């Protein structure tokens, strides 16, 4: 067991995967010699050579498209999109190709590939370094979508994603790279090395895709969250003194509906939180699913707390970000409702 | 300074529209045998001339001439002729089947049979093509069962793609034929990725990418050029310039004013234009490019100059946008006629043998069709099970899809 | 007043817009000389010249990107993406550029542009000629999203979209081009010329964006639908003898929430229908909104009837398509619930 | 046939990494004045040579020589020098402000000031640039108020972009400066569209597109080339080859092996490489391209060969991936030194005047900064209202945004 930041955990997962399976190749912009702008691949080129870990031209469609070809050949590409905001040029390759290949060829060709991308805001990155595009992936049949909230899960989920025979979108909440951020941007962040969730086994292990985790047990209200929002919800629950059950979804697709249903049936109330813009965000799907499956257990309307339907602003970042105050309001609303 | 004149938008127009007389006189075609054959090791910057000419082997007299001649013996040429004739016959039957409602859609290869058929013979087993919908010749020449192709076209119970794909969007991994995508251009960079993977794995297999003239405009064409040249991927980048992209002529993709082959130059990729209706020339150029790739010299770009003699697909009527006489005016002729003529010229074929071969082919295709139709067509007989529609979205079916399948009643 | 197919109505809208406003320019693949693969722009090049209506290279990103530049200059481009399934290569330009330009430049530059695309299946088009990607647009702040269900609306909404100062995604349900399709694929379709909704004024008029229409009044259950699904829902209601109120949303963003709320408060039951895949489809947003706003009026869970979470298949098209039978089952479910 | 050898992936590496001694000896630089100046009407295929050389005007002695000299008089050159000095000073202050926490991020132009500053002077009012984040010189040289730039950088209450955008993502329509996007390459095709619109409108204004060496790999580069060449759009396509893209050297975008300028050839677009650290050369080439565009001759491609002397941005430390000595070894020198030297050589400048000018500039920038800081910075003082965040998503605020704004408490 070692204390790792999320970055170190991700790097370690790459390392173990490359060590274990020669088919794993890693590439992306600035990923090779330099080791990635967030350093998630640092040291890999040196250890495994430039044919296993290398820089790519600045062309996201090319990165994913070449990855699909490699996966069709039988390798296991793990590619980095420098920021999730830059995945759009690759969207056609992801949606029309990676996601469809197995189905349209009836399994003649497959696409075992991981597409990693730092996601989310809270770093004064402005509208093109802050986005959370998960709903644009969950709508696409054929993709799995994962977002870890701590180093231990980041490593185990990434290894599971690399093992997975299908394309996996791996969203890394960059605000959590160095420590759990609870939304109080005016307070110092606890680094992972001082946090128990920074305890990561150095061995190879996987955290299964499709399984949520109860981040905080409670009886009064179910909170569905993922990534950074898990900690913001925790802070809000502590501060409001609400006995909230907070579920860290970890995998958005396939979704752990059992865990969700079980909790909502117990609490009768539900809050859905994400950083992405509200309309057609993944929270809409969660809300729809919960009301379809737990309608007769619901004692109040499900409340969504999300980013606003605006681009992610630079200076007004903390107005956009769904922080603890907004979640506390939602507690009031859903508990009184 | 003088007052600048008002600007105007230049919108390219083809030389010839319905009612006009086709005129290909500004299409410069070198004599067969006239174009040099560079060594595969020659530096890309020393062979830029190859992108502005047209490699041709068969001359008007039906002889094979020049430095590109001689890559195939008579037996191989007769096979090639049979492949092309088979493909044409296949097209004819399937067009008819579509008109009879037995399937929804079809894309024919008329006039450009030499390109895929000859190219296929320059590859080795294990190499991988990333084709468009108009490279059925790769399957025919590669010995893929025609019945299987038809099963796919009919979306019947034996369809290897289980009814999921539009007709002609074949997939045949074991025959070096990647799953055809409905989205243009995407597969061009995938081919490069496959080739990179082969290089990463210290394999000896190479990839071939395919794209149409119109689709070179797509952005992923660029991705392929950047990646292929940067990593020296062992890939052959094929552009099939059949002059048209549905109703849009090659000038709208900036063809004509400059060659498509010349796109390679900005990346230091050697590029060759070839007479796409000359079976021997296509084969020779393909072999050259395959040798480059397999020797670790990296990618080559081939522009196959040909003509789409038929409609774009069964949904298209070309008489609305081009002259009906264009194909007869097309200066590179018909690939089947030209190879036939050559074989007769060298005494390896005859009109009688041709007639007999044609009859055999008609028979073979007909019986393949009978066999396929025994498995059903889109409108009658057996069909792939709707239940199977939920398979293969993922390797393992997740709970929500299992639930949906149940809801759908399967 | 004349009888028009939806294609003729769309063509007519182009014609009137070009006539009235010299800034309107029309282009796309096969759009110029030939007049579009669905003939929606036939005759325009002849009438207005090749500098106002022209063919484009096969490059969707280029078509939209060039359109953005033209809009920034002050023209009003109306571009066609040949099939909605081919919008993905343009997605970056749509999301990162067209949708954001006004906001990021604080109004210094704007993007008044219409992006038309034939949408939906039911024509044996297989997975790349059948998709309904509306949810991928409604999630993007800065885009308006429209889908007409009849010739009259197609014309009026298209003219409103062209007048609009912001980018509008205009989704044309291609299964309705020639007549209203009720989902009974084994029966002949009534052509628009025999249908009263084919009555279209030849004058210039607009149908305002953001306003829904009651396609069928009723008391028992509210059905939210758009495009082809409006007719499928009508058929299902007639056949099941259910007194359903069917709302043709027409504009998905901005959404006519008033109309929706008013109806659901009255009926207490709601069905949401679309052809797109279920997970994270626009139905999720509709379901979430309805439960947020009408929770205390709901007598049964909101039911979604949608395409399955698979690619749109070729041979099994009618298994995928949410036809009248599935809607009838939903009626039973929601009325008994 | 012999057994083929196993393939291997070629991964390009720069000549020099931290600890190595920089070596630019394989970078062929023609003498100043040596490269010909084609007439703007010359056919693109006749001037391919221009993409494989480097247009230079200033020689080592500080003289302006050759056919490209003489486009600017001494007064204009002194202005140019002042623009570059101002930009450098501006960068220095803003870098410092960022380190002081007054803003979140900054991108400097160090070493490549000549490119945007000289280019701007070849345009007319009304022309439109589609810049990247590294063309602040267009604003400085165009007379855009520095205080406004700083207001934007500080996201303060006077920020014309209302705090919404990352620092340096300026927008200044009236100064011919399109809103900078955070997404690479997208604006290249937009510039072409703007130019097409000008042509459609029978206007006389032209557009200029900007992209970095690394970003030429992006797909939209291709879109721009296809559209610009097909419609002969009145646009200048600028590639700023500053050798680096964050940590990635130009070879990863297939630079070095072939020039970026040569990308034009596959489209029949005339392309010129220019010494980007030579103010006179950049101006002359820009004027040439502007004349072509304005005369209806269509697009030109310019590769500005320069060097990114600073880090990529304030988030970057280049010592991790390149030698610290690279800039001092860079053979094209410093653009400010070179122009200063020239002005002194021709007797139009002196060390004293330079010192005095520098002092004035320091003063001007400092007072602009004071003025800007009076409006607040990212961490202190006045800020754009959070309420305004909901504006401009659409021209008119739809109900759901109005509701959200209310929910947010504004
Ligand atoms: C991304 C995308 N855009 C548009 C289309 C529609 N489309 C199908 S084929 C075609 C023309 C392609 O022409 P070309 O590349 O010359 O190939 P050819 O049909 O001549 O073989 C078009 C525009 C598509 N399939 N995919
Ligand atoms: C689509 C996209 N991908 C990646 C990035 C991240 N990124 C920002 S700048 C940059 C390097 C660009 O290098 P270059 O084009 O050479 O311009 P320079 O910074 O040298 O001026 C990268 C990769 C981005 N902004 N947008
Ligand atoms: Mg073609
Ligand atoms: Mg650079």
In the structure, what pLDDT confidence band is assigned to residue B24 with cuts at 50, 70 and 90?
Answer: very high
Alpha helices for C21-80 (secondary structure H): 44-48, 60-73
Residue D41 scores a pLDDT above 90: yes
Q: Say which CATH number the domain at B279 has.
A: 3.40.50.970
Q: Is residue C207 part of a domain?
A: no
Q: Say which CATH number the domain at A296 has.
A: 3.40.50.920
Closest of B408, A289, A268 to residue C304, by C-alpha: A289
> Of A64, A82, A125, which is best to mutate to test ligand 2, by the most ligand atoms within 8 angstroms of its C-beta?
A82
Q: Is residue A134 part of a domain?
A: yes
Q: Is residue B5 part of a domain?
A: no
In this structure, the answer to whether residues B296 and B352 fall within a common structural domain is yes
Is B239:B301 a contact under the CB 8 Å cutoff? Answer: yes
> Of B135, B212, B322, which is best to mutate to test ligand 1, by the most ligand atoms within 8 angstroms of its C-beta?
B212
Domain count, chain D: 2
- Specify the pLDDT at position C337: 65
In the structure, what pLDDT confidence band is assigned to residue A337 with cuts at 50, 70 and 90?
Answer: low
Q: Is residue A273 part of a domain?
A: yes
In this structure, the answer to whether residues D403 and D359 fall within a common structural domain is no
Question: Of C166, C200, C234, which residue constitutes the final position of a domain?
Answer: C200
* Token representation of residue B348: 């390896």
- Specify the pLDDT at position B373: 98
Q: Is residue A16 part of a domain?
A: yes
Residue D1 scores a pLDDT above 60: no
Mean pLDDT of C194-209: 97
Mean pLDDT of D156-176: 98
Is A169:A145 a contact under the CB 8 Å cutoff? Answer: yes
Residue-wise pLDDT for D353-375, tens only, equals 999 999 999 999 999 999 999 99
Residue B204 scores a pLDDT above 90: yes
In this structure, the answer to whether residues C13 and C120 fall within a common structural domain is yes
**Buried-state track B141-166, b at ≥16 Cβ within 10 A, e below 16:** bbebebbbbbbbbbbbbbbbbbbbbb
Residues of A serving a catalytic function are 129
| Ligand 1 atom at minimal distance to the Cα of residue B112 | 21
Q: What is the CA radius of gyration of chain B?
A: 22
In this structure, the answer to whether residues C222 and C185 fall within a common structural domain is no
In the structure, what pLDDT confidence band is assigned to residue B93 with cuts at 50, 70 and 90?
Answer: very high
The whole-angstrom separation of Cα A117 and Cα A130 is 11
Instruction: Output the CA C82–ligand 1 centroid distance in Å.
Output: 10
Sheet holding A251-253, edge to edge: A53-55, A24-28, A76-80, A114-119, A168-173, A144-146, A251-253
| Ligand 2 atom at minimal distance to the Cα of residue D250 | 16
In the structure, what pLDDT confidence band is assigned to residue D4 with cuts at 50, 70 and 90?
Answer: confident
CB-count exposure of residue D37 (10 Å: 0-12, 13-18, 19+): middle
Residue-wise pLDDT for A100-142, tens only, equals 999 999 999 999 999 999 999 999 999 999 999 999 999 999 9
Is C248:C225 a contact under the CB 8 Å cutoff? Answer: yes
In this structure, the answer to whether residues A234 and A308 fall within a common structural domain is yes
Please work out whether the CB of residue B215 comes within 6 Å of at least one atom of ligand 1.
yes
Residue A35 scores a pLDDT above 90: yes
- Going by the DSSP 8-state scheme, the letter that residue D25 receives in this structure is T
Q: Is residue B23 part of a domain?
A: no
Count the Cβ atoms, other than its own, within 10 Å of residue B409.
Answer: 11
In this structure, the answer to whether residues B48 and B180 fall within a common structural domain is yes
In this structure, the answer to whether residues A86 and A224 fall within a common structural domain is no
Helix, strand, or coil here: A273?
Answer: strand
User: Which positions in chain A touch C92 (Cβ < 8 Å)?
Assistant: 88-89, 91
Q: Which residues surround ligand 4, an ion (CB under 5 A)?
A: D 212-214, 242, 245
Q: Is residue D332 part of a domain?
A: yes
Q: Is residue B130 part of a domain?
A: yes
In this structure, the answer to whether residues B362 and B228 fall within a common structural domain is yes
Residue-wise pLDDT for D44-54, tens only, equals 999 999 999 99
Contact A291 C287 (CB under 8 A): yes
Q: B11: nearest CA in chain C?
A: C50
- Mutant choice from A65, A138, A279, A315 vs C, greatest count of C C-beta within 10 A: A279
In this structure, the answer to whether residues B281 and B393 fall within a common structural domain is no
Residue-wise pLDDT for D303-333, tens only, equals 999 999 999 999 999 999 999 999 999 999 9
- Specify the pLDDT at position B2: 59
- Specify the pLDDT at position B3: 72
In this structure, the answer to whether residues D220 and D346 fall within a common structural domain is yes
Q: C60: nearest CA in chain B?
A: B218
In this structure, the answer to whether residues C52 and C124 fall within a common structural domain is yes
Contact C55 B164 (CB under 8 A): no
The whole-angstrom separation of Cα A120 and Cα C13 is 42
Q: Is residue A305 part of a domain?
A: yes
In this structure, the answer to whether residues C170 and C237 fall within a common structural domain is no
In this structure, the answer to whether residues A187 and A74 fall within a common structural domain is yes
In the structure, what pLDDT confidence band is assigned to residue B4 with cuts at 50, 70 and 90?
Answer: confident
The whole-angstrom separation of Cα C162 and Cα C115 is 10
Residue-wise pLDDT for C95-143, tens only, equals 999 999 999 999 999 999 999 999 999 999 999 999 999 999 999 999 9
In this structure, the dihedral spanned by the alpha carbons of residues C11, C16, C17 and C19, taken in order and rounded to 10 degrees, is: 120
Domain count, chain C: 2
In the structure, what pLDDT confidence band is assigned to residue A85 with cuts at 50, 70 and 90?
Answer: very high
Q: What is the ipTM metric for this complex?
A: 0.98
Residue B12: which of D202, D230, D264 has the nearest Cβ? D230
Mean pLDDT of C155-165: 98
Residue-number span of the structural domain to which C82 is assigned: 2-200
Residue-wise pLDDT for C141-153, tens only, equals 999 999 999 999 9
| CA–CA–CA angle A71, B241, B104 (5° rounding) | 70
Residue-wise pLDDT for A214-258, tens only, equals 999 999 999 999 999 999 999 999 999 999 999 999 999 999 999
**Phi and psi dihedrals of B145, rounded to 5?**
-65, 125
Report chain B's mean pLDDT, rounded to a whole number. Answer: 97
Report chain D's mean pLDDT, rounded to a whole number. Answer: 97
Residue-number span of the structural domain to which D153 is assigned: 44-312+323-379
In the structure, what pLDDT confidence band is assigned to residue D3 with cuts at 50, 70 and 90?
Answer: confident
Q: Is D384 left (phi over 0), alpha (psi -120 to 50) or beta?
A: beta
Residue-wise pLDDT for C265-291, tens only, equals 999 999 999 999 999 999 999 999 999
Mean pLDDT of D136-157: 98
Mean pLDDT of B359-373: 98
Helix, strand, or coil here: A145?
Answer: strand
In this structure, the answer to whether residues A182 and A250 fall within a common structural domain is no
Closest of D213, D246, D278 to residue D29, by C-alpha: D278
Q: Is residue A227 part of a domain?
A: yes
Residue B400 scores a pLDDT above 60: yes
User: Which positions in chain A touch B393 (Cβ < 8 Å)?
Assistant: 102-103, 141-142
In this structure, the answer to whether residues D203 and D340 fall within a common structural domain is yes
Mean pLDDT of A3-16: 98
In this structure, the answer to whether residues C35 and C176 fall within a common structural domain is yes
Q: Is residue B407 part of a domain?
A: yes
What percentage of chain D exceeds 90 in pLDDT?
Answer: 97
Is B229:B269 a contact under the CB 8 Å cutoff? Answer: yes
The whole-angstrom separation of Cα B346 and Cα D256 is 49
Interface residues from chain A to D (CB-CB < 8 Å): 29-30, 32-34, 37, 50-51, 54-59, 61-62, 85-86, 88-89, 124-129, 278-279, 308-311, 313-316, 319-320
Shortest distance, CA A191 to any CA of chain C (angstroms): 33
Q: B128: nearest CA in chain A?
A: A73
Identify which has the larger pLDDT, D256 or C310: C310
For the ranges A137-146, B377-386, C232-241, which has the lowest average pLDDT?
B377-386
- Specify the pLDDT at position D2: 59
In this structure, the answer to whether residues B227 and B308 fall within a common structural domain is yes
Residue-wise pLDDT for A19-33, tens only, equals 999 999 999 999 999
Residue-wise pLDDT for A157-182, tens only, equals 999 999 999 999 999 999 999 999 99
In this structure, the answer to whether residues C319 and C247 fall within a common structural domain is yes
The whole-angstrom separation of Cα D51 and Cα D31 is 16
Is D404:A326 a contact under the CB 8 Å cutoff? Answer: no
User: Which positions in chain D touch C75 (Cβ < 8 Å)?
Assistant: 197, 200-201
Q: Is residue D29 part of a domain?
A: no
Alpha helices for chain C (secondary structure H): 6-20, 44-48, 60-73, 91-92, 101-104, 134-138, 151-163, 229-240, 257-267, 282-294, 317-320, 324-336
User: Which positions in chain A touch D184 (Cβ < 8 Å)?
Assistant: 58, 86
Count the Cβ atoms, other than its own, within 10 Å of residue B410.
Answer: 14
Q: Is residue D331 part of a domain?
A: yes
């Amino acid at each position: 067991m070692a204390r790792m930041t999320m970055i170190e955990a991700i790097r370690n997962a790459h390392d173990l995967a490359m060590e274990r399976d020669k088919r794993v190749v890693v590439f992306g912009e600035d990923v090779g010699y330099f080791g990635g702008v967030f350093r998630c691949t640092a040291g890999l080129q040196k250890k495994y050579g430039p044919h296993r870990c290398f820089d790519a031209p600045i062309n996201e469609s090319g990165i994913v498209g070449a990855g699909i070809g490699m996966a069709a050949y039988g390798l296991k590409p793990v590619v980095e999109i420098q920021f999730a905001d830059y995945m759009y040029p690759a969207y056609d390759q992801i949606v029309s190709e990676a996601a469809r290949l197995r189905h349209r060829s009836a399994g003649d060709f497959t696409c075992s590939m991981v597409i990693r991308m730092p996601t989310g805001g809270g770093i004064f990155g402005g509208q093109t370094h802050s986005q959370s595009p998960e709903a644009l992936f969950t709508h696409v049949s054929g993709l799995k979508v994962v977002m870890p909230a701590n180093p231990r899960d980041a490593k185990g989920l990434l290894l599971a994603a690399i093992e997975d025979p299908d394309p996996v979108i791996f969203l890394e909440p960059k605000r959590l790279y160095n420590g759990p951020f609870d939304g109080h941007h005016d307070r110092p962040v606890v680094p992972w090395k001082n946090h128990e969730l920074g305890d990561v086994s150095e061995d190879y292990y996987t955290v299964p895709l499709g399984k949520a985790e109860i981040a905080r047990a409670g009886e009064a209200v179910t909170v569905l969250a993922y990534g950074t929002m898990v900690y913001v919800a925790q802070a809000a629950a502590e501060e409001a003194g609400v006995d909230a059950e907070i579920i860290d979804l970890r995998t958005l697709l396939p979704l752990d509906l059992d865990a969700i249903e079980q909790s909502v049936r117990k609490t009768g109330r539900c809050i859905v939180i994400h950083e992405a813009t509200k309309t057609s965000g993944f929270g809409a799907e969660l809300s729809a699913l919960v009301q379809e499956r737990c309608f007769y257990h619901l004692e109040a309307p499900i409340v969504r707390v999300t980013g606003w339907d605006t681009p992610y602003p630079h200076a007004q970042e903390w107005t956009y970000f769904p922080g603890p105050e907004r979640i506390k309001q939602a507690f009031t609303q859903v508990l009184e409702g | 300074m003088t007052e600048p004149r008002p600007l105007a938008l230049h919108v390219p127009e083809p030389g010839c529209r319905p009612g006009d007389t086709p005129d290909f006189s500004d299409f410069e075609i070198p004599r067969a045998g006239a174009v040099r054959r560079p060594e595969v090791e020659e530096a890309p910057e020393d062979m830029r001339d190859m992108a502005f000419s047209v490699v041709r082997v068969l001359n008007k007299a039906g002889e094979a001439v020049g430095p590109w001649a001689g890559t195939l013996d008579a037996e191989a040429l007769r096979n090639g002729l049979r492949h092309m004739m088979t493909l044409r016959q296949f097209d004819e039957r399937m067009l008819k089947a579509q008109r009879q409602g037995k399937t929804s859609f079809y894309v024919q290869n008329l006039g450009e049979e030499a390109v895929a058929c000859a190219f296929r013979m320059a590859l080795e087993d294990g190499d991988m093509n990333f084709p468009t919908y108009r490279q059925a010749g790769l399957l025919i020449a590669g010995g893929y069962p025609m019945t299987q192709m038809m099963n796919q076209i009919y979306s019947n119970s034996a369809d290897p793609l289980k009814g999921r794909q539009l007709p002609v969007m074949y997939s045949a991994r074991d025959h070096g034929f990647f799953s055809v995508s409905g989205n243009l251009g995407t597969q061009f960079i995938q081919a490069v990725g496959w080739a990179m993977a082969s290089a990463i794995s210290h394999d000896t297999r190479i990839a071939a990418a395919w794209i149409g003239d119109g689709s070179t405009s797509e952005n992923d064409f660029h991705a392929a050029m950047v990646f292929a040249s940067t990593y020296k991927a062992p890939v052959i980048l094929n552009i099939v310039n059949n002059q048209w992209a549905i109703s849009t002529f090659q000038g709208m993709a900036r063809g004509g004013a400059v060659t498509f082959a010349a796109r390679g130059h900005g990346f230091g990729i050697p590029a060759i234009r070839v007479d796409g209706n000359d079976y021997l020339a296509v084969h020779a150029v393909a072999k050259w490019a395959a040798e480059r790739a397999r020797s670790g010299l990296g990618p080559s770009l081939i522009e196959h100059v040909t003509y789409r003699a038929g409609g774009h697909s069964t949904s298209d009527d070309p008489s609305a946008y081009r002259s009906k006489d264009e194909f007869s005016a097309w200066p590179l002729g018909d690939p089947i006629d030209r190879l036939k003529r050559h074989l007769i010229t060298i005494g390896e074929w005859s009109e009688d043998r041709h007639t007999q071969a044609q009859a055999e082919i008609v028979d073979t295709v007909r019986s393949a069709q009978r066999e396929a139709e025994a498995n059903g067509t889109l409108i009658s007989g057996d069909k792939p099970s709707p239940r199977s529609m939920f398979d293969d979205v993922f390797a393992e079916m997740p709970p929500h899809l299992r639930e949906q399948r149940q809801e759908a009643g399967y």
